[in-house]
Structure 1
Amino acid sequence: MFLFLFTIINLVFLTLFLIFQSPNQLPPSSSPTTNIIKDCSTKNDILAIEYITLNPDPPIRGHALNIKAAGNLSETVDQGSYVDVLVRLGLVQLYKGKLDLCKEVEQNFNLKCPLKKGIHKIDSDVDVPKEIPMGKYTVDAQAYTKDGHRIACLKAETVFKL
């Protein structure tokens, strides 16, 4: 059960945090959302997401998933920042918790806080386990600084079929 839960959280988590991986110029025209991930951030949030793309979109059990994303941090993100995550399968709450943003990016992406302000871009591949149970998954993720300023907000919804 933990394996598929971790994968669902990672779909949103990877998209949110891989944006910090490497600075680059943003492309002039990009689609800001995917079929399953929506940016619910506001202009007051620290991370302005320029685009998110998934291939395939939506993800398919047992297949590789390519994630591309870019965004602009308006300020540096320090230790103590966190992510509130809620995952549901249908109406059933599978996970609700607070994740240490810096710990997660260090463990999963070999990055260290502080995450510098500026433009960042990612292009990464992940494997989607074939063991993920069928059903409709929803994920809400909101990242905050240690002082409670919102960094970004993402919502994801996907259905895994046979």
Structure 2
Amino acid sequence: MFLFFTIINLVFLTLFLILRSLDQLPSPPPFFTSPSPPKTNIIKDCSTTDDILAIEYITLNPDPPIRGHVLNIKAAGNLNETIDQGSYVDVLVRLGLVQLYKGKLDFCKEIEQNFKLKCPLKKGMHKVDSDVNVPKEIPMGKYTVDAQAYTKNGRRIACLKAETVFKP
């Protein structure tokens, strides 16, 4: 059960750090007009231009994450509309070919519990820079995570896919 919650927390961390408003920007910062920061190979943005969140970048350090170490996540994106109560995330987590979890989670409840944020999340540009401890107890293996966030009306907010291997 610990493994399940660790993986789910890593998924939510990635998705919600993008939305977490550490610095509400009135206009695009300089890095949006210069060459973009490198993107991680672990997390893929499977969103489309029709989605509410336009992700500019996601970087991890170290990339890939290492068990028992601090993981720094930097991300930036633009919400094209406000996210309200009733939003949810469809999540699928696998270890190799074994499905560990498939379900729907309350978006607003998760960000409140994990990040002390409350819905509604306001429209606009957001960037984040946060550190997370990766538990050393995560079992070795290849993990894949698919997460798609939706509004209460079923409009997709974002789509993220993650794949990493935790080594000894």
TM-score by length of 2: 0.91
For 2:12, the aligned partner's letter is F
Per-residue Cα deviation, 1:120-155 (whole angstroms, up to 9, x for no partner)? 011111101111111000000000000000000000
> In the alignment, what sits opposite 2:12?
13
Per-residue Cα deviation, 1:107-126 (whole angstroms, up to 9, x for no partner)? 11111110100000111111
Q: For structure 2, list consecutive stretches of 5 or more residues without a partner in the other structure.
A: none
Within the alignment, does 1:79 sit opposite 2:85 as a pair?
Answer: yes
Aligned pairs for 1:2-41 (under 5 A) are: 2-22=1-21, 23-24=24-25, 25-26=28-29, 27-28=31-32, 29-31=35-37, 33-41=39-47
**Conserved? CA contact 1:102–1:112, under 8 Å:** yes
- In the alignment, the residues of structure 1 paired with residue 3 and residue 131 of structure 2 have an alpha-carbon distance, to the nearest angstrom, of 17
- In the alignment, the residues of structure 1 paired with residue 17 and residue 6 of structure 2 have an alpha-carbon distance, to the nearest angstrom, of 15
> In the alignment, what sits opposite 2:52?
46
Stretch moving more, 30-39 or 56-65: 30-39
Runs (4+) off by over 4 Å: none
Stretch moving more, 26-35 or 111-120: 26-35
Figure out how many residues of one structure are paired with residues of the other and give that number.
161
Query: Among residues 47, 56, 61, which one is paired with 2:67 in the alignment?
Result: 61
- In the alignment, the residues of structure 2 paired with residue 13 and residue 107 of structure 1 have an alpha-carbon distance, to the nearest angstrom, of 11
Per-residue Cα deviation, 1:44-80 (whole angstroms, up to 9, x for no partner)? 0000000000000000000000011110000010000
For 2:127, the aligned partner's letter is K
Stretch moving more, 88-97 or 9-18: 9-18
Q: For structure 1, list consecutive stretches of 5 or more residues without a partner in the other structure.
A: none
**Conserved? CA contact 1:12–1:37, under 8 Å:** no
- In the alignment, the residues of structure 1 paired with residue 144 and residue 20 of structure 2 have an alpha-carbon distance, to the nearest angstrom, of 25
For 1:130, the aligned partner's letter is K
For 1:116, the aligned partner's letter is K
Deviation at 1:35? 1.5
Root-mean-square deviation over aligned CA pairs: 1.2
For 1:102, the aligned partner's letter is C
